[in-house]
Amino acid sequence: MAKNTKIFCIENPFLDDQILEAANIIRNGGTVAFPTETVYGLGADALNKNAVFHIFEAKGRPADNPLIVHVDSIKSCLKLVKNIPEKALLLMDEFWPGPLTIVMERKESVPDITTGGLDTVAIRMPENSFALELIRLSGKPLAAPSANLSGRPSPTSAEHVISDLSGKIDAIVDGGQVSIGLESTVIDVTCDPPAILRPGKISKEDIEEHVGEVKIAYDDKVHHESETVRSPGMKYTHYSPDSTVILVEGEHEKVACRIKELVNDFTLRNAKTGLLITEEAIKDFPSDMSFSLGKKDKPEQAAKNLFLGLRYLDGKGTDIIIVDGSFDSNGIGMAVFNRVRKAADMIIKV
Ligand code: TXA
Ligand code: MG
């Protein structure tokens, strides 16, 4: 039966009582979507099996894909993990609150449904004040995957959550646009050297500065369901809009040229074509079917605009979305390429 999803529009989480109402829903075993600095999450009490079940149900998420547990202090991790390894402490000290998720050995108190049956648990302390207040007021660690239907691009605004999950969850805290736009970096510290399972704003180099060598344990491909991968989410994550996505990668001028050819081709074939394109090239494609990825040497702008743009163009009823892959791949750019390559049905290198 469809739920009557409450929407709390909150300007200041410290001054508005509605955040208390949202926290009460969590305490009573409900599901509440809320903003974090990365993307919106769909939260429930991580230690309440029934509440966590409702997250999987609402998203249509495969049961073996574990959830990230969100806390508001390092101390609250002690209830969730057997021990906090030295390297994890160094990382928490440096990057929390912030977009870094740390995988550690779980305590029995964390239910199987939350960890997808793994003996580890992924934990993060978000930086967003709405998220922190919701955790603090509910007094619970919050299991929260991105608040999208499984397989869809992650939501960067409350409107995206409404469009995917309205009627399926108890409430949405609308705290405006997120600031980063791409999910957190996930690092596993149960192995030596620690392994990055998902790239994000905090890069390998940022991490190595504090804990020495780490290895990369992800790739940019979509895996088959039967494959075993270290971070189960990475085999399911397609970040796919409904349209066919074509990524054109390479040096800026060549990419712009190739995109022009593709647009001409698709126009002749009557395919409704949308462009997710760098600021430098957008002037050559003036239309409401072009969405800016930002400046090509500012990958943090591409991070903020990628999911937003995919959803915007999808909403315009495009058949094809062409993505300009000429932005910088350093820093968060690497994570943007990871997501867009997984979303792409075809990658053209020029
Ligand atoms: O930025 C983020 O991380 C957002 C916000 C809401 O915090 N959350 C998010 O959650 O992206 P989700 O569920 O969409 O992605 C979680 C990723 C998945 O790839 C999952 O497989 C991995 O983290 N993960 C969770 N627990 C794990 C564990 N114990 N071991 C390995 N990977 C794990
Ligand atoms: Mg997700």
Torsion over CA of 260, 153, 241 and 217, rounded to 10 degrees? 80
332 pLDDT more than 60: yes
Domains of the chain: 6-216 (3.90.870.10), 244-349 (3.40.50.11030)
- Per residue in 264-318, pLDDT tens? 999 999 999 999 999 999 998 878 899 999 999 999 999 999 999 999 999 999 9
Quick one: pLDDT at residue 323?
Answer: 98
325 pLDDT more than 80: yes
Q: Do residues 201 and 101 touch, judged by C-beta distance below 8 A?
A: no
Residues 70, 71, 76, 77, CA torsion sign: positive
Question: Quick one: which H or E segment has residue 173?
Answer: strand 171-174
- Residue 63 C-alpha from the chain's centroid: 18
- What pTM does this model have? 0.96
- Per residue in 113-126, pLDDT tens? 999 999 999 999 99
The reply to whether ligand 1 has any atom less than 6 angstroms from the CB of 198 is yes
Residue 154 CA to ligand 2 centre (angstroms)? 6
Look at residues 308, 291, 307, 296 and name the one whose alpha carbon lies nearest to residue 333. 296
Quick one: pLDDT at residue 5?
Answer: 98
Share the mean pLDDT of the chain.
95
Q: Do residues 339 and 239 touch, judged by C-beta distance below 8 A?
A: yes
Residue 67 CA to ligand 1 centre (angstroms)? 5
- In percent, the amount of the chain with pLDDT more than 90 equals 90
| pLDDT interval class at 232 (50, 70, 90) | low
Quick one: pLDDT at residue 231?
Answer: 66
Structure tokens at 191: 């192995």
Q: Do residues 151 and 101 touch, judged by C-beta distance below 8 A?
A: no
Residue bearing the CA closest to ligand 1, atom 10 = 145
Most informative mutation of 183, 202, 306 for ligand 1 (most atoms within 8 A of CB) = 183
How far is the CA of 108 from the CAs of 152, 213, 325, 346, in angstroms? 32, 30, 44, 43
66 pLDDT more than 60: yes
The reply to whether ligand 1 has any atom less than 6 angstroms from the CB of 36 is yes
